[in-house]
Amino acid sequence: MATSDLINAGINRELSDATPRRVSVIRPPSLTRLNFIANLTKLFHYRDLLYTLTLHRIKVRYKQSLLGISWAILQPLSMMLIFTIIFSIFARMPSEGSPYALFAYAALLPWTFFSTALANATNALVSHTQLVTKVYFPREILPMTYVFASLFDFLIASTVLAGLMVYYRLSPTWNALYAVPILFILTCFATAMGLLFSATQVRLRDIGVAVPLLLQLWMFATPVIYPLSAVPGRLRMIYVLNPMVGIVENFRQTILNGASPDFYTLGISGLMALVLLIISYLYFKHTEATMADVI
């Protein structure tokens, strides 16, 4: 779908009612509850544009691709194969009783979702200067569409996890349902970081260059290739302040071990995701007023 079609699909309502044409002036929001709720209400009114642009992301990503939607599976699957060879055969990394391939893939799923969402959302504004400078709509929609497109990839790649569990004869328990709130926390955290980085990227293009390096370092600071139990106890209080620790470890624990989540680490992740989401959203709306001038 062309960019002009997207504009028409999401914003045509404004243009059709505009006699005379309505002008929207974007001002930095004041830190009041009414303004915060008003911005969220406005975002809800543009939900059709959010849906249309998210669908557009998914279609464009796999358009004219030989493997198509299989790319959503290949990325975590190929990393799982490499990690299994290196850390299972050579390094003999513990995997808490689960086959290492399954252990690694269950952690790579949420990590790949987060890293893909953040890497793409960071460039969401600077790669759509035409939309940002010419048409009014809540700008936070652009980075959010990349988060939801990555969520779609996550769901596709989850089918491989189900296949691996069948292959290794591992049955999920009712505790696997905890994966739903864990996924919600992960989506909130990815959205928070996407809003923060995309708004900063408008003024500091270093962010876009630094994010791939940051994500590589961040992955090794998250229990993807090793279990949380491998982290020394004296460092664990600081280590769990990384919100991805509670998300990845508890997702793997509820799916593979059939155990209930560790509510302490999950609570830290949930609280940090919520606080960061609010702060990032306020920061994004504050910088939104001058985005079109400096982008």
Displacement of CA 184 from its chain's centroid (Å): 10
> How confident is the model over 236-294, as pLDDT tens digits?
999 999 999 999 999 999 999 889 999 999 999 999 999 999 999 999 988 888 887 77
Q: Is the pLDDT of residue 168 over 70?
A: yes
**Distance separating alpha carbons of residues 21 and 4, to the nearest angstrom:** 18
The phi, psi pair for 224, rounded to 5°, reads: -90, -50
Say which DSSP state 135 is in.
-
| Greatest C-alpha distance within the chain | 70
Nearest to 151 by CA among 186, 104, 105: 186
**Distance separating alpha carbons of residues 110 and 183, to the nearest angstrom:** 8
Look-up of token digits 């599976």: 73
DSSP letter string, 1-29:
--HHHHHHHHHHHHHHT-SSPP-----PP
Q: How confident is the model at residue 88 (pLDDT cuts 50, 70, 90)?
A: confident
Q: Are 143 and 121 in contact (CB under 8 A)?
A: yes
Supply the pLDDT for residue 28. 62
pTM of the model: 0.86
